[in-house]
Amino acid sequence: MDGTSTANVEHAEELKLLANESFKANKFSQAIDLYGQAIELNGHNAVYWANRAFAHIKLEEYGSAVQDATKAIEIDPNYSKGYYRRGAAYLAMGKFKEALKDFQQVKKNCPNDPDATRKLRECEKAYQKIRFEEAISANDTQRHSVADSIDYHSIEVEPHYAGARIEGEVVTLEFVKKMMDDFKNQKCLHKRYAYQIVLHARDMLHSLPSLVDISLPDGHHFTVCGDVHGQFYDLLNIFELNGLPSEENPYLFNGDFVDRGSFSLEVILTLFAFKCMAPSAMYLARGNHESKSMNKIYGFEGEVRSKLSETFVELFAEVFCCLPLAHVINEKVFVVHGGLFSVDGVRLSDIKSIDRFCEPPEEGLMCEILWSDPQPQAGRGPSKRGVGLSFGEDVTKRFLQENNLDLVVRSHEVKDEGYEITHDGKLITVFSAPNYCDQMGNKGAFIRFKCPELKPGIVSFSAVLRQVQSSPRRCGVAHAHAHAGRAAVAARPMPSRR
């Protein structure tokens, strides 16, 4: 369809208006579909492509956003919104050099626009910082573990400190309850105990293989949670609904504990504390946000620096490299943050042998584990995120058959009900951050498996009151960084109507 007839042009405009309404209602998938229908009728309108790019950005589908924004620029090389949207997508992907070029073009086209000026300065600052850090890293040929330089025993706890305390070396349930209660009331944990928790968790995680086998006796149950993203009060709600972690009530949190939400530090300290209290009560997998590059962009680095110190920033980066990449429950359920692989024939032994003690690479098995997504069509396709790939039902079924498994459980994507069952029931996506980013309106969910059947029992839940969750922190430092990542992604649209 050439999209040139008057009827097509008029219908496309009607679809665009419907898409705009869906966008305003935070129904971004619906908006993408409607913009797509408009594009089919009139593919020569740059606005449609740029608007769809913005909707892709809202769903963190940055690869697709870059493609759509590029198409808008091809149609109209002077269309500033095309450059703005593409720059925002590149910025969210950590591709600062590419983003800088686009925001420079926006500034050239709109020299008096304050938002364009702000984004350009933000991008220039980020790019300069990355280049500086790369220069330092290149000259530092003998990097030492920051964990080895920390002696938490020597840190004095002031007499006036009234928060949770670890007596000796053992993290107890009483301590964890007190710590969570303090966090709930927006009180701080002393850095001595924060160091103790993170260092002990590091030792435990470091000793694990890249793929962890979990064995459960008959009659027992096991809970898998998806992304939490710093939503501490929703984490508390999960424990309220499903019980605190214990050896009789074990959990697996499937990556993306941090970033986006304002209380990522409280989330990760709570999960690590339960791991220290009872290793078989808390299993933790790495997500794509447990990495330096993501933490710089999406808020965790700034939050940790604000609430604790630069040393803790380095320590968390080191500990995140110790997180296992996948888990298998009773030799039947494969649990991984992102998804499957660009090649067939990957065995569980291949995953177990991955050297994970590094920042995630841009390709290969480790990258795909953290970044891939399922797709409805068969085969494999490019990633809508710009990293990893998309894989179909046939890929899932072959992987399960080759490894004598029954089910893939993954996270990584927001879903309206907190979960989605796809690939003929062989793949479940679970996402545990309700009303993600304070705007998506989605539910959260977790999955309870009972042995020996391992039939997934899915529980959906709504977000807790958000005015508590997103309030600023104290600790003597204004919490200016909590939403920095969110703002960096594209936040405000450029002035003018869509």
For the segment 21-43, what is each residue's pLDDT rounded down to a tens digit?
999 999 999 999 999 999 999 99
pLDDT value of position 490: 33
- Is the distance from CB of 51 to CB of 23 less than 8 angstroms? yes
Q: Is the pTM of this model over 0.85?
A: yes
Here the tokens at position 171 are 């993290």
CA nearest to 435, candidates 299, 234, 268: 234
What's the angle, vertex CA 259, arms to CA 87 and CA 441, rounded to 5? 85
The DSSP call for residue 280 is: G
From 200, 289, 337, 483, active-site residue: 289
pLDDT value of position 140: 46
- Is the distance from CB of 303 to CB of 482 less than 8 angstroms? yes
CA nearest to 357, candidates 197, 138, 206: 206
Question: What residue type is 197 in one-letter code?
Answer: I
pLDDT value of position 94: 85
pLDDT value of position 471: 40
Which domains, ranges and CATH numbers included, belong to the chain? Answer: 6-138 (1.25.40.10), 147-485 (3.60.21.10)
CA distance 315 to 295: 13
- Which residues share a beta bridge with 251? 223, 282
How far, in Å, are 56, 327, 333 from residue 276 at the CA level?
39, 19, 25
Q: Judge whether 289 counts as a catalytic residue.
A: yes
pLDDT value of position 498: 52
pLDDT value of position 477: 25
pLDDT value of position 473: 38
| Displacement of CA 200 from its chain's centroid (Å) | 24
Q: Which residues of the chain have pLDDT under 70?
A: 1-4, 134-143, 466-498
CA distance 444 to 420: 11
CA nearest to 198, candidates 145, 256, 254, 142: 145
Here the tokens at position 206 are 């470091």
pLDDT value of position 136: 63
CA distance 90 to 391: 23
